[in-house]
């Protein structure tokens, strides 16, 4: 099934639902990737810097916490440009540990770039990419006898609805053997004002990130969205730890999609949900680990305690 087909079906499903939504994975076309890079540089978006600080200052302690006595594998889900991981891999190489780095991604292109980029800085790294979707690759890893450290960083887990997050972690757990480890990066609950600003930056980059979804539908699904007729809105609920992001229709409008020869009505002030970005409490982290069959071995936080990389053992 082509990606284009999925996009069409997902948009149809999202726009036919009572609360319209667009799955957040569609943010990441080429333009969306570029805008996300800009988000990570924003003064308000502390997440990337906080996690980078953890790897820089506590990378040694993370490596100390690994119990592996023999050759092992580092399997990374959603590796991105691998810049944070590089700090950790560098530390492992410095200690002459025997391991293979296996980044996983749906796109061979992304993996090719990541590999070239990693080898430029870490020429002695053993790297073996895993191209394909998680559902196919993860189960195949269980039969590989090497102990493994799985990485799921960047608070990507926060973009899942709670039940989906649990199911996803459970799927990782099912592909792990007893003694394997999972390092999960999670954004922590903190002063709500800071979180609100991180998802509603002054320069409007996060707004562009959301509006790019409309551009993508115009281009790829032959839609005729007027970008000036929608506005970005995000809201943080500190009680649940949920940032919800939306596009707001500024007027009553009908948008036509040539890809499915269908039109959708958007009422004035109607919301399209685009993303959930969860912020976790310590209790929620413990519960998620427990319910998916892990125990929390150790936690690594930045100095301000904005972010945690939590090391779980199966
Ligand atoms: C990729 N993900 C963890 C980001 C987040 O913080 O939820 C995506 C993002 N959305 C708006 N800003 C950044």
What's the 210 CA to ligand 1 centre distance in angstroms?
A: 11
Query: Could you tell me which of 298, 294, 224, 231 has the C-alpha nearest to residue 261?
Result: 224
Question: Is the CB of residue 20 less than 8 Å from the CB of residue 11?
Answer: no
State which ligand 1 atom lies nearest to the alpha carbon of 154.
Answer: 3
Question: Is the CB of residue 36 less than 8 Å from the CB of residue 28?
Answer: yes
Question: Is the CB of residue 47 less than 8 Å from the CB of residue 187?
Answer: yes
Distance between alpha carbon 257 and the CA centroid of its chain, in Å? 29
Residue nearest to atom 3 of ligand 1 (CA): 156
Please report the ipTM that was assigned to this predicted complex. Answer: 0.99
Sequence-distant (≥ 6) Cβ neighbours of residue 219 within 8 angstroms = none
Query: Could you tell me which of 209, 33, 24 has the C-alpha nearest to residue 114?
Result: 33
**Quick one: tokens of 248?**
């707001």
What's the 277 CA to ligand 1 centre distance in angstroms?
A: 6
What's the 203 CA to ligand 1 centre distance in angstroms?
A: 16
Query: Which of 26, 243, 275 has most ligand 1 atoms within 8 Å of CB, for mutation?
Result: 275
What's the 134 CA to ligand 1 centre distance in angstroms?
A: 20
State whether the Cα torsion 287-288-292-294 is positive or negative: negative
Query: Could you tell me which of 22, 4, 2 has the C-alpha nearest to residue 12?
Result: 22
What's the 65 CA to ligand 1 centre distance in angstroms?
A: 28
Element (H, E) at 41: helix 30-41
Each of the 314 residues of the chain gets a pLDDT tens digit; together they read 456 779 999 999 999 999 999 999 999 999 999 999 999 999 999 999 999 999 999 999 999 999 998 999 999 998 777 888 999 999 999 999 999 999 998 888 889 999 999 999 999 999 999 998 888 899 999 999 999 999 999 999 999 999 999 999 999 999 999 999 999 999 999 999 999 999 999 999 999 999 999 999 999 999 999 999 999 999 999 999 999 999 999 999 999 999 999 999 999 999 999 999 999 999 999 999 999 999 999 999 999 999 999 999 99
**44 vs 198: CA distance, rounded Å:** 5
Query: Which of 35, 199, 235 has most ligand 1 atoms within 8 Å of CB, for mutation?
Result: 199
Residue nearest to atom 1 of ligand 1 (CA): 156
Tokens 């691998």 belong to 82
Query: Which of 44, 80, 155 has most ligand 1 atoms within 8 Å of CB, for mutation?
Result: 155
Inter-axis angle of helices 83-94 and 108-121, nearest 10: 40
Predicted pLDDT at 3: 67
pTM, whole model, 2 decimals? 0.95
Query: Which of 28, 37, 38, 39 has most ligand 1 atoms within 8 Å of CB, for mutation?
Result: 39
What's the 200 CA to ligand 1 centre distance in angstroms?
A: 11
What's the 34 CA to ligand 1 centre distance in angstroms?
A: 13
**203 vs 23: CA distance, rounded Å:** 24
- Which residues surround ligand 1 with Cβ inside 6 Å? 39, 47, 154-156, 158-159, 199, 206, 209, 275, 277
State which ligand 1 atom lies nearest to the alpha carbon of 276.
Answer: 7
| First CA to last CA distance, the chain | 34
């Amino acid at each position: 099934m082509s990606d284009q087909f999925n996009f069409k079906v997902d948009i149809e499903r999202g726009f036919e639902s009572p609360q319209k939504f667009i799955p957040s994975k569609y943010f990441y076309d080429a333009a969306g990737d570029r805008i996300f890079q800009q988000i990570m540089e924003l003064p308000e978006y502390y997440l990337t810097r906080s996690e980078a600080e953890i790897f820089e200052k506590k990378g040694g302690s993370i490596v100390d916490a690994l119990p592996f006595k023999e050759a092992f594998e580092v399997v990374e889900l959603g590796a991105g440009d691998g810049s944070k991981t590089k700090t950790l891999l560098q530390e492992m190489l410095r200690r002459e540990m025997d391991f293979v780095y296996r980044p996983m991604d749906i796109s061979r292109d992304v993996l090719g770039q990541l590999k070239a980029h990693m080898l430029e800085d870490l020429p002695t790294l053993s790297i073996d990419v895993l191209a394909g979707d998680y559902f196919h690759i993860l189960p195949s890893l269980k039969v590989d006898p090497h102990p493994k450290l799985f990485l799921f960083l960047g608070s990507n887990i926060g973009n899942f609805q709670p039940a989906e997050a649990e199911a996803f972690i459970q799927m990782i757990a099912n592909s792990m053997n007893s003694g394997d480890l999972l390092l999960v990066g999670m954004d922590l609950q903190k002063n709500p004002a800071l979180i609100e600003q991180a998802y509603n930056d002054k320069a409007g980059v996060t707004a562009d990130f959301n509006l790019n979804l409309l551009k993508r539908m115009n281009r790829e699904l032959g839609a005729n969205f007027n970008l000036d007729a929608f506005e970005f809105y995000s809201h943080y609920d500190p009680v649940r730890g949920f940032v919800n992001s939306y596009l707001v229709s500024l007027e009553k409008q009908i948008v036509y999609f040539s890809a499915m020869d269908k039109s959708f009505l958007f009422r004035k002030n109607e919301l399209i949900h685009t993303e959930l970005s969860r912020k976790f409490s310590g209790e929620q982290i413990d519960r998620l680990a427990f319910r998916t069959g892990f125990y929390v071995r150790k936690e690594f936080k930045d100095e301000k305690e904005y972010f945690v990389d939590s090391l779980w053992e199966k």
